[in-house]
Amino acid sequence: MSGAAAFVDRAAALARVQRMEEALQAVEKAARIAPNDPRAAAGLAQLNFETWRPAAALFEKAAHLAPQNFDLVRNHSLALAAEGDITAGVRKLEDALSAAPFWVDGHRTLA
């Protein structure tokens, strides 16, 4: 297991027990060690979002690193909306649904 993977796993374990600030510190280390690691990028975006920090740009990077991960697309759209750009969030979901019309969670989120 790489150093970054160990920090991502530690962050996930800490988040499960609601030790969010420690989890965020761990995933930030992972992202510094491996800035192009999709798990580290996704974890960093998600933990920022869950702790009410800006996360849209982080989800955008994570989605770029893992374009097949529709959870990142959904969460990117939610982060955009949370940061005040509801139109961009809706557009992000609509674009994804054009490419993957049977993505049920995308339809559910858009509704």
Token code pair at residue 1: 């297991």
Residue 42 pLDDT = 98
| Percentage of residues of the chain with pLDDT beyond 90 | 98
Query: Which residue carries 């529709």 as its tokens?
Result: 70
Of the chain, the percentage scoring pLDDT greater than 70 comes to: 99
Domains detected in the chain = 3-110 (1.25.40.10)
pTM to 2 decimal places: 0.92
Could you tell me the pLDDT band of residue 65, with boundaries at 50, 70 and 90?
Answer: very high
Measured distance between the N- and C-terminal CA atoms of the chain, rounded to whole angstroms: 40
